[in-house]
Structure 1
Amino acid sequence: MLTIIAISLCYFVFAVLLNSVGTVILQSITTFDVSKTDASTLEGFKDLSIAFVSFFIASFIPRIGYQVALCLGLVLVAVVCLLTPLFAEFYFIKVLFAAIGTAFALVKISVYSLIGQLSSNTKTHSSLMNTVEGIFMVGVLSGYWIFSGFIDPNDPASLAWLNVYYLLGAMITIAAIFVYFVPIEREPFTGAQTGALSEFLDMLKLTYQPLVLMFVISVFLYVLVEQGIGSWLPTFNREVLGLPVDISIQLTSIFAAMIAIGRLLAGFLLRFVPWYIFINGCLVMMFLTILLTLPMTQVSDSQVVTGIFDAPLAAYLLPAIGLFMAPIYPLINSVVLSALPNKQHAKMTGLIVIFSALGGTFGSILTGVIFEKFGGQHAFYMSLIPIVMIMFSLFIFKKLSANRRSTLVKGA
């Protein structure tokens, strides 16, 4: 139980940091006067750091132990958070997100591997995965309100919002101390005799299999949609719906709340509903939510919003897509990981993290470019295309997994 609390606490604090990128994009545009295209690169500093570090260290983490990896990641980010208000420049915000990405690569691989140790079968693995990811979304939800509390509504361009990183640095330090003293069992590492290069190549070999290839394509497309919407929703609220900065951020918390609720509910419902039927139902509802809600985002210029309850209906309906989006990512991850021996979870998680990071970076930058050139509505309509592509990739994935589930890692 203490181990579950420890990994949940790590995921909570990183949820606040990782998913603050949407808020920080909006504040960077407002405070540092950068363009939308420049601001969108923050997602790249975060996600490409995750991908790069995961690519090279996924097979090494079992060597040093998951507890050490968690502590290293937490300490790194705590230090950079405490330095951020002192530098107060856009370039250091890039450094901050690069550090967050680097640390999260260590944390995510460790957490996913520990979930494998704590689970006895596919159902318990899916349930624990969704519960931990649900706690992650509670952290995301909390983060929007934490950040908005440091923004001066009368002077949104003020640098005072950077003081939030003192609070976050303290929270991460507490998490690091807790993880250090929790007795996390170190799984015996059996791959030391094969050599580091061999272990690294073993991870790459997984991508040669059609089943794994369709899986990573599905992950890439899903994260593309989630980050494209999640990272730009505060700016969408501000520029398309015309909401004040603080209210734009606060209403974005609905998106996080819906994902948190959806993942926590999925942890229960997936005990009774087949995963493939469940996930396709979610994708259809995502498609319909975008198609039916975006036409409602045409707001009259005369409408004045002074509080969250004055916001137009679309400001509440659009973030509700998170409820249907919620179970997809942890579920497809769990389907693959639960079929693997625990000793191979770190390698497969490395691939998950890499392709998730690439999808998040591409989704945020693509959305930012379309947002700047054609407007927020067109940018969000474009997410319909990858949603359809996910349905197609998961169909192939399901067909392959039915035939080759028992041989997923053959030759790895």
Structure 2
Amino acid sequence: MTDKARNEKNLALVRWLTYLMFMMFAMTSDSVGEIIKEVKREFDVSNTQASLMHTLFMIGIAFSGLFLGFLADKFGRKNTIILGLSLFAVSCYLFLVGTSFSFILGLITLSGVAVGVFKTAALALIGDISTSTKQHTGTMNGAEAFFGVGAIIGPLLVAWLVREGVDWKWLYVIAGGLCTLLILMAYKVDYPEYQKPVDSDNNIAKVNNFASSIKLLKNRYAMGFSIGAFLYVAAESAIYVWMPSYLVCDAVNLEDTFACYTSDSQKYLAMYAVSVFFSLRAAGRFVGIWMMQHFNWALVLLIFSFAILVCFVGGLIGGKEVALYLFPLTGIFMSVIYPTFNSKGISCFPKSEHGTVAGVILFFTAAGAAAGPLIMGIVSDAYGGDAKYGFMVATGFAGLLFLGLLYNFIFNPTEKRLAEVEKTEYSNPSASR
């Protein structure tokens, strides 16, 4: 085998390892809805208390992204990935000995911190294995597609465990086992050589620290994509957190939950609407790998964000019977937006800063996932608990997202910056167009 063939095979292994990492942690993060139901029963806690399972996980990711995102740039991708995966595996295995709600919340927070560490390193690694900004976007869509697969597997696995009389905590043990396997794979695989940045005197530049993350908060490229990620995730989380509450009928008992729907197919769709949403989102991301290689990314995001806004408005005006179809359909249109935000935002910077940039965007991502559903819940409660009012807030997020992407398409503020980075950081300048 030639050196070129060996290198290509190794890069393929690194790419698949990255995909599997995304799938593994999605199995736990997107199972939170199913897990919350079991936590409420087991520990006899309120809805607000149980929601901390989601909120603290996101806070852990946000903290890690902002305060620890520089680790991938300072100590290298491989070391940081192994560190993050190790912390995640430990937190997963400790679920077996968790007997109190406060202990479980501590583990949830630790797992969020761990995800932030290895995810920022994995996002930075995608830049190292890409030969153009366009390939970078395609690979990012691939990683998020596998995240989508994990988001489908996790809830189904929790439901199966509960149905078989097995403790829901075994989901984390299974994830910990997969994580241990990934650690061994990461240790064995040769990662692309990471070049630390140097200053004008050819000394290692001291830019990879917490101050680097804070400095990026003043950068228009980092902040533009970060705010976009916040708005997108706030709208997306409205679907998988609050759509079930919006679609249920007014009923006095569980049997009447879907009585307002006229056909069995509608009742079935209402019951599995979140699974349909996740499935469409995952399928859309696999298609997005091809789409981003052949079409103008700014135009695709503009059209898709408009479609999301139409679905939200239509679901509110048409009521439950229309939202039953339009809300899950947003999965197709949401599929490529977040991976592309991540990719283009990170690609506006040198590879030596990719970990730090990824951490900043991840901070705003987690903030959107935590704040969006919370604001929706507060607004809904203020108007008698009707989820419709919360979705008005989500529609506002979707509207702002569309306006931002309209501005991006018309003025294309990143075109010059991406072209500059393409010339200095990637080996195939023509591929970015």
Classify the TM-score, shorter chain: 0.7 to 0.9
Cα deviation code 1:232-280 (max 9, x no counterpart): 445556687926xx99885422221111111111111122221121111
Which TM-score applies when normalising by structure 1?
0.84
2:190 to 155, 158, 183: 183
**Number of the residue aligned with 1:70:** 81
Report the counterpart of residue 342 of structure 2 in structure 1. Answer: 333
Aligned pair 1:388/2:399, yes or no?
yes
Aligned-partner Cα distance in 2 for 1:28–1:247: 26
1:253 alignment partner in structure 2: 275
1:310 maps to which residue?
A: none
Identity %: 26
Equivalence map 1:2-401=2 (5 Å)? 2-152=13-163, 160-190=167-197, 193-195=204-206, 199-233=209-243, 242=257, 251-294=273-316, 298=320, 315=324, 317-373=326-382, 374-398=385-409, 399=411, 400-401=413-414
Q: Contact 1:76–1:103 (CA<8 Å) still a contact in 2?
A: yes
Distance in 1, matches of 2:45 and 2:317, equals 29
Equivalent pair of 2:232/2:338 in contact (CA under 8 Å) = yes
Larger Rg: 2
Q: Is the 8 A contact 1:88 1:162 kept in 2?
A: no
Q: Indicate conservation of the 8 Å contact 2:239/2:327, yes or no.
A: no
**Equivalents in 2 of 1:46, 1:140: separation in Å?**
15
Q: How much has 1:4 moved relative to structure 2?
A: 0.8
SS at 1:119 equivalent:
coil
| SS of structure 1 residue aligned to 2:117 | helix
Deviation at residue 186 of structure 1 after TM alignment: 3.7
Greater relative contact order structure (CA < 8 Å, 6+ sep): 1
Cα pair 2:247 2:270 within 8 Å, conserved? yes
Query: What is the CA distance between 1:319 and its match in structure 2?
Result: 2.0
Flag structure 2 segments of 5+ consecutive residues without an equivalent.
Answer: 1-11, 251-255, 259-267, 422-433
8 A contact 1:144–1:249 mirrored in 2: no
Residue range with higher mean Cα deviation, 109-118 or 51-60: 51-60
Check 1:367–1:391 CA distance in 2 against 1; reply closer, same or farther (3 A cut). same
Counterparts of 1:177 and 1:234 in 2: how far apart (Å)?
39
Q: Distance in 2 between matches of 1:393 and 1:407?
A: 23
- Identify if the C-alpha distance between structure 1 residues 401 and 188 changes in structure 2 by more than 3 Å, giving closer, same or farther: closer
Please, what TM-score do these two structures have when normalized by structure 2? 0.80
Distance 1:2 1:293 in 2: 43
Aligned-pair CA distance for 1:339: 3.2
1:366–1:188 distance in 2 versus 1, CA, 3 Å: same
SS in 2 for 1:34: coil
User: Structure 1 residues 393, 199: closer, same or farther in 2, change over 3 A?
Assistant: same
Amino acid paired to 2:137: S
* Equivalent residues of 1:126, 1:331 under 8 A apart: yes
3-state SS of the aligned residue for 1:187?
coil
SS of residue matched to 2:39: helix
- Are residues 125 and 195 of structure 1, via their aligned partners in 2, closer, same or farther at CA, if it must alter by over 3 Å? closer
Rounded to whole Å, the distance in 2 between the matches of 1:291 and 1:392 is 15
**What is the rounded CA distance, in whole Å, between the counterparts of 2:237 and 2:103 in structure 1?**
22
Q: Distance in 2 between matches of 1:15 and 1:357?
A: 14
Give secondary structure in 2 for the equivalent of 1:126: helix
- Retained in 1: the 8 A contact 2:25–2:175? no
RMSD of equivalent CA atoms: 3.0
Task: Say if 1:85 and 1:381 are closer, same or farther in 2 by CA, change over 3 A.
Answer: farther
